[in-house]
Structure 1
Amino acid sequence: MKEHKVKLAILKQLSAGGFHSGEELGQEFGVSRAAISKHIKGIQQWGVDIFRIQGKGYQLAAPMQLLDESILKAKTHKPLELIPIIDSTNQYLLERTEQLESGTVCIAEYQGKGRGRRGREWISPFGSNLYLSVFWRLDAGMAAAMGLSIVVGVAIVEALQAFGIQGVKLKWPNDLYYQDRKLAGILVEMSGQAGGAANLVIGMGINLRMAEQTAGITQPWTSVGEILGEQNFDRNLLAVELVNAIHQALDDYELHGMSHFVERWNPLDNYLGRKVKLIMGNREIEGIERGINEQGAVLLETKQGIEAFIGGEISLRGQA
């Protein structure tokens, strides 16, 4: 974190808007103009678009609101750390489960090694999105964690609705979509011993104001900024809304299980009633998607009737 101190301070200055010369920034932080230039290049490697005009200085290509740890901590009810630059919020919590209070949150501005489901990379440019993870100790054990990404997915969509973001749907088992484009993903990882409590880390990445051309992303995606259009929104308040919704959903899940999340999921299911393929390794199963059951399994209507599946990935490829 220490090695990023000047870069983060420069970003804070730039996020205030306007041009800032290398000389001005150098005087502010007690370094040379050459050092400022080097720091700017490092910031650009985080995915931040900064441009320079001779005689005027540096400016952000688009406005940026930085996360504020004091606001986040004041409006949430569990321990929370904002670590602007991190490898992975999930990994950070997974390495500390024995000393953490259940409900602890880690939020970042940038992930160098963000990951999605099935070991895929999660592209995490600085300040564009939200990257957060929650640690939860589930006393009922690992078997009871089945379908937890469904619980969290429902909570996030409902929190977005409360924030004024309508039309977001769920893709089984762990993605949020808007008009068939990906908005957010959820990754649940766990550790623990059979017969003991499960240590769960629930990670979420949601696109907020990501640049249209972002290297490394090939699938169709959208963002909160695109959905809301010109309407401004507060990243800090949205983060608070999502964290509190996840905490509430996990409390509800421990008390009541999956049952009432099923009825909340099905109206939000992006593929309900649509012909899909379920890809399970080399196997592909075609059918009409019919929602989920109380175990969190996806239901497909196939030639054999209604079948439940707990693994695999839904695809519309080749489907009408």
Structure 2
Amino acid sequence: MKQASKIIRQHILSLLADGQFHSGELIAQQVNLSRTAVAGHISQLADWGLDVFKVKGKGYRLNQGFALLSAEHIKKHLRRPGLSMIQVEPVLPSTNAEMKLRIAKARHDLADGDVILAEVQTDGKGRHGRKWTAPVGGSLTMSMYWSFPDGYQSMAGLSLLVGVAICEALRKFNIEDAQLKWPNDIYLNGRKLAGVLIEVEGQIGATAHSVIGIGLNVNVPDTQYDVGQPHSDLTGYLGETPDRNRLAAAVIESLREMLPEFTQQGFGKFVPYWEALDLFADKKIVLQMGDKRFSGIDRGVDQSGALLVETEDGITRFHGGEVSLRGI
């Protein structure tokens, strides 16, 4: 998308975010365009998931207003706001894709903990290339950069560590009962609340440059949105919509606290934390790996983050890849 269009849509988004009516004429004056051109930009925003409706004589209004993400506001909730870059983009195809582009272009300019957030993700992805649906203003979509000097092998268990960090951040919002589904999903009330997507750039034997992608449902009512599986959101659980800037800061802070120790010592220390949050602990499960199915009892994880499944033949370890997991 051209920079000019990006700026115009960001301006329109900031105007509509208050949930009040704004006339097409007023918006046109603000962005110095014709009302027809404004209508085109709003139509594009609607295509991206913005729930805009128009009333003759009143103008445009969002079905529900929301507080925009703001790097400045996020930093206010961080103990060390200058430690790394916090950047908010109005529209991106994917925060992970954007971070990977920056790794390719300017690896030396990135610092561990740098974060990109987006109000609108037009092509967000989950594991196995599944589409991540994120309504505008209703989710937290972000990617953090972190480097691993000892290479790809030192990242074992990273997605599990990120899940633990997210659950720790949620405690600051009085959410004590979030759980983890191996290897990278966060559940609340037995339904998916958030997902983690780890992607890696770099050569074997050299520093691994990781992109930690997080998508978290803040206000995604299951009566209005079908994301392909049963899901939960924070608004439904709390009875009110939490401040997304404060939420983003809590997740960033939690990752900043845990990642340095994980980088140096691995996942071992965090195994008991993950197992205490395991959604299927000591339950019968089925894993689908390609055309093969395995069933057994979930017995936690090892220091590499592999899932331990008790079968008739004893304990079998399962690593990542094309593995889906569901309780029986």
Residue 192 of structure 1, CA deviation: 2.0
Corresponding residue number in structure 2 for 1:302: 311
Q: Distance in 2 between the 1:212 and 1:33 partners?
A: 35
In the alignment, which residue of structure 2 is the partner of 1:254? 263
* Alpha-carbon distance change, 22 to 261 in structure 1, aligned in 2, over 3 angstroms: same
Q: Does 1:78 align with 2:88?
A: no
2:63 & 2:129 partners in 1: Cα distance? 32
Pair 1:238-2:251 in alignment? no
Three-state SS of the structure 2 residue aligned to 1:25 is helix
Distance 2:134 2:102 in 1: 22
Could you list the per-position Cα deviations for residues 159-214 of structure 1 after superposition, in whole angstroms to 9, with x for gaps in the alignment?
Answer: 10122223210000000011221110001111222222111111111011125456
Q: Which whole-Å CA distance do the structure 1 matches of 2:42 and 2:222 have between them?
A: 21
Please tell me the residue identity of whatever aligns with 1:305: G
The one-letter code sitting in structure 1 at the alignment partner of 2:133 is I
Runs of 4+ in 1 over 4 A off after TM superposition: 213-216
Partner SS for 1:109: strand
Which of 295, 301, 316 aligns to 1:292? It is 301
Report what 1:158 is aligned to.
Answer: 168
Q: Check 1:144–1:157 CA distance in 2 against 1; reply closer, same or farther (3 A cut).
A: same
SS in 2 for 1:185: strand
Paired residue type of 2:115: V
Q: 1:79 to 1:188 in 2, by over 3 A?
A: same
Q: Secondary structure at the match of 2:162?
A: helix
Q: How far did residue 23 of structure 1 move?
A: 1.9
Matches within 5 A, 1:184-263: 184-212=194-222, 217-229=227-239, 231-263=240-272
Q: Tell me the alpha carbon deviations over residues 236-266 of structure 1, each in whole angstroms, 9 at most, x when there is no partner.
A: 0100110111122111202332122101011
Match runs of 1:273-292 below 5 Å: 273-292=282-301
- Alignment correspondent of 1:36: 38
Alpha carbons 2:20, 2:65 under 8 Å: kept: no
Compared CA separation, residues 232 and 120, structure 1 to 2 (3 A): closer
Native 8 Å contact 2:134 2:217 kept in 1: no
How many angstroms does 1:284 deviate by?
0.6
Residue matched to 1:181? 191
Give aligned pairs, total: 316
CA distance in 2, matches of 1:92, 1:39: 23
Percent identical pairs in the alignment equals: 38
The answer for the alignment partner of 1:64 in structure 2 is: 66
- Which amino acid is the alignment partner of residue 88 of structure 2? L
Q: For the Cα contact (< 8 Å) 1:73–1:79, is it kept in 2?
A: no
Instruction: Pick from 8, 12, 17 the counterpart of residue 6 of structure 1.
Output: 8
**Counterpart residue identity of residue 158, structure 2:** L
Aligned to 2:23: 21
Cα contact 2:6–2:90 (8 A) shared by 1: no
Q: Does 1:139 align with 2:149?
A: yes
Alpha-carbon separation, structure 1, partners of 2:298 and 2:313: 14
* 1:215 positional shift: 6.2
For 1:50 and 1:155, the matched residues in 2 are separated by 35
Displacement of 1:11: 1.8
Which residue is 2:49 aligned to? Answer: 47
Q: In structure 2, how many angstroms separate the alpha carbons of the residues matched to 1:35 and 1:5?
A: 14
Unpaired segments of 5 or more residues in structure 2?
none
